[in-house]
Amino acid sequence: MSEEPLWKPSPERCASAQITRFAAGLAARGHVPEGADYFAVHDWAVAEPASFWREVWDFTGVVGEPGTQVLEAPDQFPGARWFPEARLNFAENLLQRRDDHPALVSLLETGARRELTYAELYRQVAGLAASLRALGVGPGERVAGLLPNVPEAVIAMLATASLGATWTSCSPDFGVNGIIDRFGQVAPKVLFCADGYYYNGKACAVLDRLEDILPAVGSVEQLVVVPLLAAQPALPQGVPAALFAEFVDPAASAIAFARLPFNHPLYVMYSSGTTGAPKCILHGAGGTLLQHRKEHSLMCDIGPQDVFFYYTTCGWMMWNWLASGLASGATLVLYDGSPFAGEGRLLLDAIDAEGITVFGTSAKYIAALEKAGERPAHSHDLRSLKTILSTGSPLLHENYEYVYRDFKRDVCLSSISGGTDILSCFVGGSPTLPVHAGEIQAPGLGMAVAIWNEQGCPVQEQKGELVCTAPFPSCPLGFWNDPDGSRFHAAYFARFDGVWAQGDYGEETANRGFIIHGRSDAVLNPGGVRIGTAEIYRQVEQCDAVLESVVIGQQWQGDVRVVLFVVLRAGRTLDAALEAEIRGLIRRNTTPRHVPARIVQVADIPRTLSGKIVELAVRNMVHGEPVKNTDALANPEALRLFRNLPSLQS
């Protein structure tokens, strides 16, 4: 990696950052030396986790009673209990602000815009919570959302959480089976469903799918419809149904927040489900709140003055992460539709129109802007923008250089990586640290993150497994319908006893940053040499003719050979010259073992609904193995392109 950083924070930015005030408070209480930097705070936090997380509780102003004990059974992982005496309510913490400051700005790709103040948001949540309570919704019940990223999704989640019930959601672009596979496991009592959504210039209806979904789920006692395509959509038959505005109790003006234990179930999240039935991951209210408050305040420097955006759907954990920004008093910008609407500039336009200060997106979006020749620094003002966040897949070296060359020079570009599994990040950014090309800035505060080799020994500047060696508050409560915890243990703790193995293949750099090279289960292994897929993507990205690519290891003659599939620009074909160019790029910048044995042109590459390339599904298709739950894919038809390819038979 480059010795010289692409960006350094100014002294003024460092001085005003919340992490700087936090460190000063720690120093005043004798926890860290005066003037301690981010890494000094991190090292103390890992060494003294109970003290650190109590400091986070106090610094971020968590509403609730923390109790006297912070950490019980700290040597048990899993099994440690955080704040065992605490009582709090998640929604109460997100609704502390109740003035006329904008809380939610909703944008659709059609150009529609709505705005809710914090006072209006509180009233809407109060009315919805009253109606849900009248139905008997409370602790132990589940409420589900089949909704686009619109204010009603946030309102419904907050109303559910205020009562102590558990919220779960899917994006409406999931297929029928994908929705049943998820909601059918957790049996929601109430379902919020939009009549449809807009994507890529099309209006997509949803309600007609309920004819199959509701009987299969079998538990829904009340349907609440959110009109988006029509003002008065026809309500489905067979279950009590009401429009959202009519369901909200207009007489309710206050919320009786149910303060419950720290580990009270808040969310059911779902694994991608591309290799089997999706796992239902149960997350607690306290761990989610405390982890998000830490990440937003201390690692992203989000506060009441910020306008916070993340491109996400309600089926991805980044929606939950974005929603928690309300606890910082920030304005959240919700967007639903294609990120490339408006000639590909709609989201860039929103930065200027809404004064977005923290812009969250995916590595795919940044790469696509570069491929399209966009130069936001020349086409847009971007004066408000102070931070760009990226997740979903590794942000490549060249993506960093593009941002600082063509997007904005004075911006903190923070690649972050964690997962639905922990509803947060293991590694991420800091407004007080420099940005080096290709590197995630730092381990998350309070997260005992390391890279281990296959023998279970920590290594630096070598590739290995990303692990977390000590408990953290947002560790899941477990999996739904896993009473003895065996499936949960097998998923994260079977590799190394008492250590969380995330399933990411990465390395720690000399700067104490991290590089993620791809998923461990997608690592290529030609001739016994482990290769992260991101190492190849980085080189292919430089080829102007290639729009997208996916690389797999194909079982071949008792070994593994590297196979690269490419989607090319219109009018380009994979001829001998282009193959030579791609192979040359890879050979010059990596090793001969990285060079694909076969390069194959395809028309499309399958992705999950959150935009992640499904390398394992492609590998299964190439090997003639079944791919389960294709409803978890945004474009399942693309899988057929990889079946029985003649070019891979020799």
Q: Which residues contact 338 (CB under 8 A, 6 or more apart)?
A: 109, 199, 200, 201
Distance CA 382, CA 5 (A): 22
pLDDT confidence of residue 275: 56
pLDDT confidence of residue 647: 86
Higher pLDDT, 144 or 639: 144
Residue matched to tokens 């009441």: 304
- 611 has pLDDT over 50: yes
Residue 226 dihedral angles phi and psi, to the nearest 5° = -100, 110
Q: For residue 392, name the pLDDT band (cuts at 50, 70, 90).
A: confident
Cα–Cα–Cα angle for 268, 156, 187, rounded to 5 degrees: 40
Contact 2/426 with Cβ under 8 angstroms? no
| Mean pLDDT computed over 365-376 | 93
Q: For residue 251, name the pLDDT band (cuts at 50, 70, 90).
A: very high
Q: Tell me the CA end-to-end span of the chain in Å, nearest whole number.
A: 38
Residue ranges of E strands in 373-490: 387-391, 412-415, 417-419, 424-428, 442-443, 449-452, 464-468, 478-479
Using a cut of 0.85, tell me whether the model's pTM lies above it.
yes
- 210 has pLDDT over 90: yes
Q: Residues 509, 513, 516, 517: what is their CA dihedral angle, to the nearest 10 degrees? A: -20
- Determine the 3-state secondary structure of 590 from DSSP: coil
Number of C-beta neighbours around residue 374 at 10 A: 20
pLDDT in tens, 47-77: 999 999 999 999 999 999 999 999 999 999 9
DSSP symbol at 279? P
Contact 414/387 with Cβ under 8 angstroms? yes
pLDDT confidence of residue 593: 83
CA-to-CA separations, 647 to 27, 533, 556, 598, 600, in angstroms, rounded = 63, 21, 13, 8, 8
Contact 28/55 with Cβ under 8 angstroms? no
Residues facing residue 561 across a β-bridge:
554
CATH fold of 523-648: GMP Synthetase; Chain A, domain 3 (3.30.300)
Average pLDDT of the residues of the chain: 94
Residue 32 exposed, middle or buried by CB count within 10 Å (0-12, 13-18, 19+): buried
DSSP string, 146-169: E--SSHHHHHHHHHHHHTT-EEEE
- 613 has pLDDT over 50: yes
Percent of the chain with pLDDT over 70: 99
Q: For residue 532, name the pLDDT band (cuts at 50, 70, 90).
A: confident
For the chain, the structural domain boundaries read 11-82, 87-514, 523-648
Residues facing residue 389 across a β-bridge:
360, 414
Q: Residues for the chain: how many in total?
A: 650
Contact 159/138 with Cβ under 8 angstroms? no
Superfamily of domain 87-514: ANL, N-terminal domain (3.40.50.12780)
Residues facing residue 144 across a β-bridge:
168, 191
pLDDT in tens, 292-314: 999 999 999 999 999 999 999 99
pLDDT confidence of residue 1: 44
Residue 455 dihedral angles phi and psi, to the nearest 5° = -90, 0
Sign of CA dihedral 540, 546, 550, 552: negative
The tokens describing 8, both together, are 């350094």
| Mean pLDDT computed over 215-222 | 97
| Mean pLDDT computed over 1-22 | 92
| β-strands 113-117, 142-146 pairing | unpaired
Residue ranges of E strands in 69-147: 71-72, 81-82, 87-88, 102-108, 113-117, 142-146
Residue matched to tokens 């150009």: 111
pLDDT confidence of residue 175: 85
Task: Spell out a b/e string for 168-207, using b for 16 or more CB atoms within 10 Å of the CB, else e.
Answer: bbbbbebbebbbbbbbbbbebbbbbbbbbbbbeeeeeebb
Q: For residue 273, name the pLDDT band (cuts at 50, 70, 90).
A: low
Cα–Cα–Cα angle for 565, 571, 573, rounded to 5 degrees: 40
Q: For residue 592, name the pLDDT band (cuts at 50, 70, 90).
A: confident
Max avg pLDDT among 80-94, 391-405, 604-618, 621-635 = 80-94
Max avg pLDDT among 183-197, 587-601, 604-618 = 183-197
